[in-house]
Amino acid sequence: MEKKIAVLPGDGIGPEVVQSALKVLDQIADIFGHRFTYETGLIGGCAIDETGEPLPAETIELCKKSDAILLGAVGGPKWDTLPGDKRPEKGLLGLRKSLQLFANLRPVTAFSSLAEASTLKKEVIEGVDLMIVRELTGGIYFGEPRKRKEINGEETAIDTLVYSKSEIERIIRKGFELAELRSKKVTSVDKANVLESSRLWREVANEVAKDFPNIELEHMLVDNAAMQLIRSPKSFDVVVTENMFGDILSDEASMLTGSLGMLPSASLSADGPGLYEPIHGTAPDIAGKGLANPLATIASLSMMLKYEFGLEKEADAIQEAIDSVLLQGERTSDLAGGEKALSTDEMTEKVIVQLKEKA
C-alpha cells in the first residue's frame, strides 16, 4: 500500500513524540511492505513564529492532498499573551473546521500493567476497553444566537444548542460502524428528559439502529453515564454523544487509565483525510528534554492505520508491541518510571524491538 501522510509536529513535545511515531511507521512499512511518504507542515506556535499565522494556507493545502494527518500538539507559554484569535490553538480549531472533522474518537484502554497509575481500584479498571465518539462541529459550542443582552434590566448571556437531523445521523452512524469493528454495543448518551435536541438525538439513534440489527443500542442520560463510567467502565463499548457531553465525558474517561501520555485520538470527516493526535498537550515543563512518553502518539498512528487505511494487522501489531513493552515493566517518567525511567528515544526503541521480534 502506498500512502501520503501530512506530518504536523507543532510545539513543545509535539516534534519529539511525532518523531518517535514516524520511526515506528518506518518499521511497519519495512515489516509489512508498505510505502508511506510524509511531508511536514507548520501549525500552532511554530507557524506563528515563521509566518505570523497559526494555520498557514500551505498547511491546509498539504493536509487536503494527503491521505491522513499526524499531529503532535500545539501551544505553549510563549504564545499565551497573544490575543485569542491569534493563539496557536486557533490553528487546530481552524484545521478541524477546514477539513470538516465531525467525529472525535477517543479509545480508553486500561492497561493492567499500569493499574497502579489509576485512581480507581484494579478490579474496576482491568479490562476496560471503550471508545468515546464525540460530535465535534455542532451543539452549544457553535449554535446561534450566542450573545449578551439586557433582559429585565439585567445583563444576560445566551448560548443555543442546535442539532440538525443530518448532523445527528452522521455521528450516530459513525458510532455504529465503529461498534461493528468492536464488541457490538452502542451507548447513546443524551439528556432526553430535559432537552429537545436530545429527544431528536434519541429518535435518530433509534432509526439508525434499524440498519445495524446485530448491534445493541442502549440510551443513557448523561448524568448517569458520568457515574457509570467510574462505577462500571467495563460495561461500555462505544459511547456516542454530542459535543459538550463528549467533551466532559472523554476527559473523565481519560482518567481511568491514569496517564495522559498513553491516550490517542482520531478526528474523522465524511470522506477527506482524518487527523490523528495524542490527547495530551505540549507539556512545556518537559519539552526539549527527551523525556516525553511517545506511546500516545504511537497509538494514534495505530488508529490511523486501522481507521484510515484499513490496515488492521499492522495496527494490532503496534498495539501489541505497546502492551508487551509495558508488561516488561518499561516506563517513561510520567508512568512512575522513577530512577530507571526511559527517555523518549529509548521507549521508542523498545517498541521497535518488539515489532521486529513479533514480525
Q: Is 75 among the residues that bind ligand ATP (CB under 6 A)?
A: yes
Q: What is the DSSP letter of 343?
A: P
Instruction: Provide, rounded to whole angstroms, the least separation between the CB of residue 219 and ligand ATP.
Output: 31
Phi, psi of 299 (to 5 degrees): -70, -30
Residue nearest to ligand ATP (CB): 281
Q: Is 345 a catalytic residue?
A: no
Q: Among this protein's residues, is 356 annotated catalytic?
A: no
Shortest Å, Cβ 359 to Mg ion: 37
315 contributes a contact to ligand ATP by CB under 6 A: no
Check 11, 67, 237, 247 and give the catalytic one: 247
In the list 26, 285, 312, 346, the residue contacting ligand ATP (rule: CB under 6 A) is 285
Q: Which does 293 bind (CB under 5 to 8 A by kind): Mg ion, ligand ATP, none?
A: ligand ATP
Among 233, 261, 273, 274, binds ligand ATP (CB under 6 A): 261
Among 28-36, 116-124, 191-199, 277-285, the segment contacting ligand ATP (CB under 6 A): 277-285
- CA-to-CA distance for 139 and 162, rounded, in angstroms? 5
Contact flag: residue 87 with ligand ATP (CB under 6 A): no
**Residue 341 DSSP class:** P
Query: What pairs with residue 39 in β-bridges?
Result: 6
140, exposed or middle or buried, with CB in 10 Å at 0-12, 13-18, 19+?
middle
184 is catalytic: no
Q: Does the footprint of ligand ATP cover residue 9 (CB under 6 A)?
A: no
300 near ligand ATP, rule: CB under 6 A: no
Q: How far apart are CA 222 and CA 230, in angstroms?
A: 13
Place of cell 509536529: 9
| Complex with ligand ATP: residue 89 or 177, whichever CB lies closer | 89
Rounded to 10 deg, the angle between the 196-209 and 165-180 helix axes is: 50
Q: Tell me if residue 191 is catalytic.
A: yes
What is the distance between the alpha carbons of residues 180 and 5, in angstroms, rounded to a whole number? 26
Q: Closest distance between ligand ATP and the C-beta of residue 322, in Å?
A: 13
Q: Return binding residues for Mg(2+).
A: 223, 247, 251
260 binds, among ligand ATP, Mg ion, none (CB under 5 to 8 A by kind): ligand ATP
Bridge pairing between strands 129-135 and 238-241: parallel
**Gap between the Cα atoms of 305 and 297, Å rounded:** 13
Please list, in sequence order, all residues whose beta carbon lies within 8 angstroms of the beta carbon of residue 276, skipping any fewer than 6 positions away: 68, 69, 70, 71, 264, 265, 266, 267, 300, 301, 303, 304, 308
Residue 293 within binding range of ligand ATP, rule CB under 6 A: yes
Please identify which of the residues 174, 191, 306, 350 carries the catalytic annotation: 191
Shortest distance in whole angstroms from residue 305 CB to ligand ATP: 20
Select 12 or 41, whichever has its Cβ closest to Mg ion.
Answer: 12
Q: Closest CB to ligand ATP among 174 and 280?
A: 280
Helix (H), strand (E) at residue 27: helix 14-32
Active site residue 67: no
Catalytic member of 23, 141, 185, 234? 141
Beta pairing, strands 264-268 & 103-109: antiparallel
To the nearest whole angstrom, how small is the minimum distance from the Cβ of residue 281 to Mg ion? Answer: 4
Stretch that binds ligand ATP, among 54-62, 131-139, 203-211, 290-298 (CB under 6 A): 290-298
The binder of 18, among ligand ATP, Mg ion, none, by C-beta within 5 to 8 A per type, is none
**Which residues line the annotated binding site?**
76-89, 96, 106, 134, 223, 247, 251
Count helices and strands in the chain by DSSP H and E runs = 12, 12
Site membership for ligand ATP, residue 292 (CB under 6 A): yes
Query: Would you state the torsion angle of the CA atoms of residues 197, 199, 200, 206, taken in this order, to the nearest 10 degrees?
Result: 140
Query: Which residues, 6+ apart, have CB-to-CB distance to 65 below 8 Å?
Result: 4
Could you count the other beta carbons within 10 Å of the beta carbon of residue 2?
A: 9
**Active-site residue numbers?**
141, 191, 223, 247, 251
Q: Which residues form the interface with ligand ATP (CB under 6 A)?
A: 13, 17, 73, 75, 260-261, 280-283, 285-286, 292-293, 296, 334
